[in-house]
Amino acid sequence: MDKPTHLIEYETMLLGQHRHLDRSAYILLSRIRMEGMMSIGQLSEAFGLDVSTLNRHTSALLRRGLAERIPDPQGGVARKFRLTEEGERYLDSERARNINGLEKVLAGWTADEVAAFAAYLKRFNTDIERLRGRSWPHPERKAQQGSGAGV
């Protein structure tokens, strides 16, 4: 581990072990909440996953009552997924649990250290998105779009 990139690889591997097991539901529901209703094709494009994989994941959401499939309100052929009230509660609960865990881990950090870490993570993720050619919706981008400021 003589290079910083080796250390980053190792530490991100360790970070992965701390994630809860139902990560796919959390990620899918988060994306649908941020983007609004999405078809299986839109989800496939957004995540870069094949439709069969997404069908398995979305079927699990439907079985658990976290999402529902509805006709496209704009008249399109493809049905759309949207969060149910249970899905909204689940997502809020999981997010609160994640934030609570982060606050415990970061309790000994200064506000400047936490802000710097957040900025580096954001930069890291943004660069991954750029290289993959697939961006994730970010709250500040959504606010800019809503205000007419552009992205």
Same domain, residue pair 56 and 29: yes
- Condensed to tens digits (0 to 9), the pLDDT of residues 10-24 reads 888 888 777 665 788
Same domain, residue pair 93 and 118: no
Same domain, residue pair 47 and 94: yes
Residue 54 and residue 25: Cα distance in Å, rounded? 11
Give the number of residues written for the chain: 151
CATH number of the domain within which 27 lies: 1.10.10.10
User: How many structural domains compose the chain?
Assistant: 2
Same domain, residue pair 36 and 84: yes
Provide the pLDDT for residue 145: 56
Residue 120 and residue 97: Cα distance in Å, rounded? 22
Helix pair angle (23-35, 51-63), 10° resolution: 90
Share of the chain above pLDDT 70, in %: 88
- Condensed to tens digits (0 to 9), the pLDDT of residues 49-84 reads 999 999 999 999 999 999 999 999 888 888 999 999
Same domain, residue pair 35 and 99: yes
Q: Is residue 14 in a domain?
A: no
Q: Is residue 42 in a domain?
A: yes
Same domain, residue pair 48 and 78: yes
